[in-house]
Chain A
């Protein structure tokens, strides 16, 4: 077993492992790279913590060790802590923690490990681990996060990449070249590991384990994934609170949850919107068990904005769906005492949000359902080997003394002790006096009691000894580039980033970089940027923001820039600037200085917009979507980039980012756009810069924010075939001059939707790539029933069929326009041909439709019905059928029937054939 730095992938592994060391030394003596292997080992192993490094302190600066105090330390389980102290390498292969008890004889060794465990646990008080429910959905989310946000660039992936391809069979070997995770299932509870993942730098200030900017839900999901073995297969337990799934969708109504993929899942005390991660456009499903205290009738309430429903034992009790202001609805149900399943679904479609779930029952006044009656079934997760642990003061007191005598504080710092300290810490020899030719002391393969034993190879010993004998060389100061390489090596930046042909993702590791969603940006959309000349590209303020303040401009990239802590990488912005500065760089123009700049930025705005170079065809701008792919937000350029780089990049994108999809708009330095600023390349680029350098964009580039492109039916009907929300992917929208509109669904062959007023806004589909479904622009949208419009029912109780579309024999045939461009839709169902001719008629106050439907068949068809409506309540008054008090239908000449079916009412029109034809008229007002 080797210290974990050996497991790191190229270039560290290359520098330090096995045979490469000799090769490396042979090449360069004191390394060209700026990181000599011996120097690297001495500093990562923290030798200078005990051995005063004197004049070479600078170069051998120690790696900060994990903090153990109550405020910062990770609350690992006592069983793991004990095992780790007894044999660090066995618990966490590759750990840099030396075995402090290696040379102790039994039973002293066991006594010391136990005493130290009691002491360290006493610092924070023993806690009993409470089981938490395993969530399969959270594990799935965690699995994706673990494999995409960047974890697997240092730690071994646990699954094949999304492509599932491993042509060179690298996967099985990846564990050997990655930093081992150790026995996490024994070490952590889900909550503790989640806490650690959220802020690893709190307990491990060295930053070798960086923060990946996980939010609490994400950290919990990753923790649950990594600890998934804690829940034994098949064992379910009763857990407090509810389980929930949280979805981010733009919804007009409560969705079919089973068709959606949750963004996150988890457990929560009660029905609360606190689990939502954004203000609007989300949905939640809560599930669990409610304990009913006594037999009787219970009333349940949901008060919500927007829609909600409540189910008990899978029966809907409260209907409060749709978009509406905060409103309360209720329902009653008789229940027996005991456990019943409860489910509440909720969605928000914009605006205010609210959810309150209450009950009333025998002996219970109306009140919010208390969390104590809510529970859910789940697989319980507990650390492996979970034990009740009580701190023994005598043992802890002894442990406090061992902590001193073993010099733990040299790395882990002084810790409080409430017991008398009698031990003293010996003083190690200064580094300058350690220049023997043979390994001795803690370098000796057989250490003496009280000394640490490091798991290192003979070759590593030789390298360290060699370095100790050449300490004079370490007094020199490293160049900026050497310091960069050293930092990028120890922090393993090279796993993801290439700089000057060093490092960068390789092999199967490349396959784990992913887009967020499906983004048409190629490798630029998922691979971390290379860092050649990054100091000449980016402003130091921005590099600092990216390294230590969470700055990020690539929302399409799944992999995140880790945060290593200012203490560890805070020097990089300055170093990059020094190393990459160009003597001939054009300085940043002072865009605020003169009126010329003010004038210039108008031209810049023009060039960026539609009609200029249309940069916004691909680039997002100031938070607005681009017209095409979501390439990097251009409005950030002024804060991030140096003008010199920007200018060189625009003139020749490929030279600075080989393979980029950014087109050259000034090929050979000559402007393709001759209309702006006389086609002067330098003036154009300066003008764009002048515009981008501003912080506030009150005047956005032309064409970025699309106005409405309302289609208006003036004297004739107007047709719009496109993706229409409520009308399907093959909708045929028709706007009529009378201001009634419809959408016909040519997939399902049905009139899908009618509405009044304005027809539709075509801007969505006529700008950019035309992504998504457009809503009706007008008002009073009525959705017609889904499913086939016609069916043959052989009995009154026969259920209306659900199957539709081509698979069920339906086929769209086209349409014929009349003199006013109004379509007669033609479609067929097996041997039946149907002509469907809706005509808008003016009305007071609103227009309606007269629809004439003719069915042709060679042979008369028996028991053929048209389903005109489905609703909660359909009522007939003098031949007018009111559907849910909105839609009013008349069928002159036909005798429709109302029938109940599956808790709803259906309005069916029977068809009778005469001479190969059956016909009916439907008059629609609403």
Chain B
């Protein structure tokens, strides 16, 4: 955007055209409320609920772990409006707990330096036995060395992703790696190449992913599949393949050291050159979609949360938003599209968890990393009002274009007109220095749009699909059969590969 276009107050405030690339508009926020409303849970005085993870304990009791090292139980969390919430402290003094789950009457917590399990032996409601489940990685006192833990997956494995020491280095064992805790208690080095995770979890099929943040070797925030043996792109942690203290365990896990990526290259080029490299399934364009991708969860509510079943809801800490992600598999690799979903949360969203009623708990803090919400921490719930918004539902790559499906039938006139769409593509530089501008920008041509007979999908034939590029498509002119405009007419598809069929 050229600053010379912003000349007057009027332009600043009301010219939507000028701000077409900024999705945070007040009208939109109002519109979003009609479909998904936010319930804010009051937090008692004296509880600094900088929540890092949530876990349901049964009987309607929710556990929340915090960056300050406490674990609280919250009762009546689903009450609406929330007036009888009860907070009790279960544990304290732990080290930045960013993973919380439960198994066999133990509560498992991921601390910076170890995975710990705890239980209350004397029945006073507080944990008294704290067992170290494992600590195969190191920490050296750098604040950046975080550890994020998953829930137990379908195989009974618990996954942990480890931030680097700062943005560039791996100064403690396994920094920049992912570990799995197997049911037999063993720890398996699983993936390398991690920079700065913001969250970890599975998609609807139980495949483990994490979000990695913009920085060195990450031109934008990304969502990456943690496929065992694969390299996530940042070479700082590769040194542990050769370190006497770690190399045997890595070899035993069957991992091969990948070639180092070449700085200044492009992701899709390096993915072809380095077989172990796992490119991001989704790049979240920076800053349109967000500036700090964090926790996420697949919609497994069976429709209680609206029409987006099996899709992922991904938080952005900096923008205090929840985004929506559709994934598909092309040539054995995940890729797909992200869409704006809901803005206006109170603090920096760290992650999300389902309530039994199909509402989405959204929680986080802005401590150390500023966020739009402005509150130091918050626990909120996003509740579907039952009203279906007119939205893009899914977006699939085709050999010669994209196929969109929608939540409501289309108006064939507007939806079938290529002029109702705009498209551009770009990618980022895959490089050792911090972040990246958008580069290699192109403007493909939408040759035709065909609306399906049932009116639920639109097939775009596009001249100039770009392998390895984000395809940013806006649908400002597309109307539903009922004359509605799309609530979020913006889609960003990471086209790592163009499908052959």
The reply on A843 being an interface residue by CB < 8 A is no
**B 257-276 to A, binary, CB cutoff 8 A, 1 in contact else 0:** 00000111100000000000
Q: Among the listed A518, A617, A814, which residue makes an inter-chain contact with B368, where contact means beta carbons less than 8 Å apart?
A: A617
> CB-nearest residue of chain A relative to B118?
A814
Cross-chain contact B167 with A518 (CB below 8 angstroms): yes
The reply on A652 being an interface residue by CB < 8 A is yes
Cross-chain contact B374 with A770 (CB below 8 angstroms): no
Number of interchain pairs (Cβ within 8 Å): 188
A773 to B141, CA, bound (A): 7
Residues of chain A with a CB closer than 8 A to B166's CB:
518, 520
Q: Among the listed A522, A611, A746, A766, which residue makes an inter-chain contact with B68, where contact means beta carbons less than 8 Å apart?
A: A766
Q: Among the listed A532, A610, A628, which residue makes an inter-chain contact with B369, where contact means beta carbons less than 8 Å apart?
A: A628
Cross-chain contact B368 with A523 (CB below 8 angstroms): no
> CB-nearest residue of chain B relative to A773?
B141
The reply on B367 being an interface residue by CB < 8 A is yes
Give the Cβ gap from A508 to chain B, nearest Cβ, in Å. Answer: 10
Question: CB within 8 Å of A: which of B55-96?
Answer: 67-69, 92-96
| One of A39-47, A238-246, A293-301, A662-670 contacting the partner | A662-670
Residues of chain A with a CB closer than 8 A to B25's CB:
667-668, 670
Cross-chain contact A814 with B132 (CB below 8 angstroms): yes
Q: Range of interface residues on chain B?
A: 35 or more
Q: Among the listed A510, A627, A648, A807, which residue makes an inter-chain contact with B367, where contact means beta carbons less than 8 Å apart?
A: A627
Cross-chain contact A655 with B69 (CB below 8 angstroms): no
The reply on B391 being an interface residue by CB < 8 A is no
Question: CB within 8 Å of A: which of B27-72?
Answer: 48, 67-69
| One of B2-10, B333-341, B408-416 contacting the partner | B2-10
Cross-chain contact A167 with B372 (CB below 8 angstroms): no
> CB-nearest residue of chain B relative to A536?
B3
Cross-chain contact B435 with A721 (CB below 8 angstroms): no
A860 to B167, CA, bound (A): 49
The reply on B437 being an interface residue by CB < 8 A is yes
Residues of chain B with a CB closer than 8 A to A815's CB:
130
Cross-chain contact A812 with B368 (CB below 8 angstroms): no
Given that A668-B13, A668-B22, A730-B113 are contacting pairs, would A812 and B374 also be in contact in the complex, using a CB cutoff of 8 Å? Answer: no
A610 to B287, CA, bound (A): 24
User: Which has the most chain A C-beta neighbours within 10 Å: B2, B12, B67, B370?
Assistant: B370
Give the Cβ gap from A481 to chain B, nearest Cβ, in Å. Answer: 15
The reply on B180 being an interface residue by CB < 8 A is no
Question: CB within 8 Å of A: which of B130-149?
Answer: 130-132, 135, 139-144
The reply on A718 being an interface residue by CB < 8 A is yes
The reply on B215 being an interface residue by CB < 8 A is yes
Residues of chain A with a CB closer than 8 A to B144's CB:
520, 769
The reply on A62 being an interface residue by CB < 8 A is no
Residues of chain A with a CB closer than 8 A to B127's CB:
817
Question: CB within 8 Å of B: which of A148-188?
Answer: 163, 165, 167-168
The reply on B245 being an interface residue by CB < 8 A is yes
Residues of chain B with a CB closer than 8 A to A898's CB:
none
Question: CB within 8 Å of B: which of A270-301?
Answer: none
Cross-chain contact A766 with B48 (CB below 8 angstroms): yes
> CB-nearest residue of chain A relative to B196?
A520
Cross-chain contact B12 with A651 (CB below 8 angstroms): yes
Residues of chain A with a CB closer than 8 A to B67's CB:
770
A613 to B318, CA, bound (A): 12
> CB-nearest residue of chain A relative to B168?
A518
The reply on B111 being an interface residue by CB < 8 A is yes
A672 to B48, CA, bound (A): 23
A813 to B140, CA, bound (A): 19
Give the Cβ gap from A313 to chain B, nearest Cβ, in Å. Answer: 36
Given that A719-B92, A773-B141 are contacting pairs, would A614 and B263 also be in contact in the complex, using a CB cutoff of 8 Å? Answer: no
Given that A628-B368, A655-B1 are contacting pairs, would A813 and B437 also be in contact in the complex, using a CB cutoff of 8 Å? Answer: no
Residues of chain B with a CB closer than 8 A to A612's CB:
374
User: Which has the most chain A C-beta neighbours within 10 Å: B93, B95, B432?
Assistant: B93
Question: CB within 8 Å of B: which of A727-745?
Answer: 728-730, 732
Residues of chain A with a CB closer than 8 A to B205's CB:
none
The reply on B453 being an interface residue by CB < 8 A is no
A661 to B286, CA, bound (A): 9
Given that A614-B374, A672-B374, A729-B141 are contacting pairs, would A167 and B132 also be in contact in the complex, using a CB cutoff of 8 Å? Answer: no
Given that A613-B374, A664-B22 are contacting pairs, would A813 and B132 also be in contact in the complex, using a CB cutoff of 8 Å? Answer: yes
Judged by DSSP, the binding face of B is loop
Cross-chain contact B12 with A768 (CB below 8 angstroms): no
Given that A165-B432, A523-B434, A668-B26 are contacting pairs, would A769 and B69 also be in contact in the complex, using a CB cutoff of 8 Å? Answer: no
Given that A167-B264, A672-B372 are contacting pairs, would A522 and B93 also be in contact in the complex, using a CB cutoff of 8 Å? Answer: no
The reply on A656 being an interface residue by CB < 8 A is yes
Residues of chain A with a CB closer than 8 A to B420's CB:
none
Given that A612-B374, A654-B1, A729-B141 are contacting pairs, would A814 and B130 also be in contact in the complex, using a CB cutoff of 8 Å? Answer: yes
The reply on A723 being an interface residue by CB < 8 A is yes
The reply on A767 being an interface residue by CB < 8 A is yes
Cross-chain contact B372 with A663 (CB below 8 angstroms): yes
**A 593-635 to B, binary, CB cutoff 8 A, 1 in contact else 0:** 0000000000000000011111101100000000110000000
Residues of chain B with a CB closer than 8 A to A388's CB:
none
Residues of chain B with a CB closer than 8 A to A627's CB:
367-368
Q: Range of interface residues on chain A?
A: 35 or more
The reply on B151 being an interface residue by CB < 8 A is no
> CB-nearest residue of chain A relative to B66?
A766
A450 to B176, CA, bound (A): 70
Q: Among the listed A673, A728, A768, which residue makes an inter-chain contact with B374, where contact means beta carbons less than 8 Å apart?
A: A673
Question: CB within 8 Å of B: which of A804-820?
Answer: 806-807, 811-819
Cross-chain contact A654 with B287 (CB below 8 angstroms): yes
Question: CB within 8 Å of A: which of B117-166?
Answer: 121-122, 127-132, 135, 139-144, 166
A767 to B369, CA, bound (A): 11
A28 to B319, CA, bound (A): 47
**A 643-661 to B, binary, CB cutoff 8 A, 1 in contact else 0:** 0000010011011101101
A216 to B368, CA, bound (A): 37
Given that A721-B93, A816-B129 are contacting pairs, would A618 and B370 also be in contact in the complex, using a CB cutoff of 8 Å? Answer: yes
Give the Cβ gap from A484 to chain B, nearest Cβ, in Å. Answer: 18
The reply on B376 being an interface residue by CB < 8 A is yes
Cross-chain contact A661 with B93 (CB below 8 angstroms): no
Q: Among the listed A167, A610, A770, which residue makes an inter-chain contact with B376, where contact means beta carbons less than 8 Å apart?
A: A610
Cross-chain contact A721 with B370 (CB below 8 angstroms): no
The reply on A771 being an interface residue by CB < 8 A is yes
The reply on A920 being an interface residue by CB < 8 A is no
Q: Among the listed A522, A729, A770, which residue makes an inter-chain contact with B113, where contact means beta carbons less than 8 Å apart?
A: A729
A767 to B67, CA, bound (A): 11
Cross-chain contact B135 with A812 (CB below 8 angstroms): yes
Cross-chain contact B367 with A655 (CB below 8 angstroms): no
Q: Among the listed A672, A721, A814, which residue makes an inter-chain contact with B131, where contact means beta carbons less than 8 Å apart?
A: A814
Q: Among the listed B48, B129, B262, B373, which residue makes an inter-chain contact with A814, where contact means beta carbons less than 8 Å apart?
A: B129
Give the Cβ gap from B441 to chain A, nearest Cβ, in Å. Answer: 13
Cross-chain contact A656 with B291 (CB below 8 angstroms): no
> CB-nearest residue of chain A relative to B136?
A806
Cross-chain contact B433 with A648 (CB below 8 angstroms): no
Give the Cβ gap from B383 to chain A, nearest Cβ, in Å. Answer: 21
Cross-chain contact B143 with A769 (CB below 8 angstroms): yes
Cross-chain contact A667 with B24 (CB below 8 angstroms): yes
Closest 9 CB pairs of A and B: A719-B93, A617-B370, A769-B368, A667-B24, A669-B13, A814-B131, A165-B263, A817-B128, A729-B141
14 A-B contacts, Cβ less than 8 Å apart? A511-B433, A518-B169, A521-B434, A522-B214, A614-B376, A617-B366, A652-B12, A663-B372, A667-B24, A719-B92, A721-B93, A730-B95, A765-B68, A819-B122
Q: A: which residues have CB within 8 A of B?
A: 163, 165, 167-168, 510-511, 518, 520-523, 525-526, 532-533, 584, 610-615, 617-618, 627-628, 648, 651-652, 654-656, 658-659, 661, 663-665, 667-670, 672-673, 718-723, 728-730, 732, 746, 762, 765-773, 806-807, 811-819, 821
**16 more CB-based (< 8 A) A-B contacts, given A526-B434, A769-B143:** A167-B264, A511-B433, A613-B370, A651-B12, A663-B291, A668-B22, A668-B25, A672-B373, A722-B95, A728-B141, A769-B144, A769-B368, A770-B96, A814-B131, A814-B132, A819-B122
